[in-house]
Amino acid sequence: MRLSSHLKPMNPETPLESIFPRIFTIRNAQVMLDSDLATLYGVTTKRLNEQVKRNGGRFPKDFMFQLQREEVAILRSQFATSSSHGGRRFQPWVSTEHGAIMAATILNSERAVAMSVYIVRAFVKMRQELLANAALEARLQSIEKTLISHDSALRDVIQKLRPLLMPPPEPPRRRIGFVPPAEEAG
């Protein structure tokens, strides 16, 4: 299963934003698929996973973990890929930012080192953008609350002004002519 085969290989000169589609949030962690990491490091997924297994002590669960079937199905549905033809025999592994750095150290090639710096910068930039978006969302919520309270205050003012804008009632007219005394007293 190659979930992100629609993405092109990159080099360290590629803009950082182009790596964002390869970073997912799974289990409240930002991660990259082993196949994407292998592509970036210029090795096969099999080679990357072999090296990870050989150096298992360097990859605790918060650096790298294997996806569950439900998580793979969610990712697959995001890409609208078929699961009936070809694919992987095992669930893919994902690496956090720290796992990506550690993978570069065990692969020990110039490309792996260069790409690990690139990947770390992409993770950092993505985190900064997420924080900026969160701050913007908080500010928008604050403005919305202010607008709601202003709307309420304006509604009250309009309701109080409306009677003042109505024309005053006409005073009773005095009848012209002779008024009998019985009607004058009444």
Distance between CA 132 and CA 138 in Å, rounded?
A: 10
Report the pLDDT value the prediction gives residue 186, as an integer from 0 to 100.
53
Report the pLDDT value the prediction gives residue 2, as an integer from 0 to 100.
44
Report the pLDDT value the prediction gives residue 123, as an integer from 0 to 100.
79
Q: For residue 41, give Cα distances in angstroms to 10, 34, 76, 114.
A: 9, 10, 23, 9
Domain ranges of the chain: 16-131
| Contact predicate 32/60, CB 8 Å | no
In sequence order, what are the beta bridge partners of 24? Answer: 31
* 19-28 confidence digits (pLDDT tens): 778 888 888 8
Q: Which residue has the higher pLDDT, 44 or 178?
A: 44
Structure tokens at 124: 């950092």
Decide which of 1.10.3470, 3.40.50, 3.30.300, 3.10.260 is the CATH code for 16-131. 3.10.260
pLDDT at 81 over 60: no
State the average pLDDT over residues 82-106: 75
* 115-174 confidence digits (pLDDT tens): 777 777 887 887 788 788 888 888 888 888 888 888 888 888 888 888 888 888 888 887
Mean pLDDT of the chain: 78
Structure tokens at 129: 């953008």
Strands 64-66 and 29-33 turn out to be unpaired
Distance between CA 62 and CA 4 in Å, rounded?
A: 23
Whether the model pTM is above 0.85: no
State the average pLDDT over residues 86-105: 81
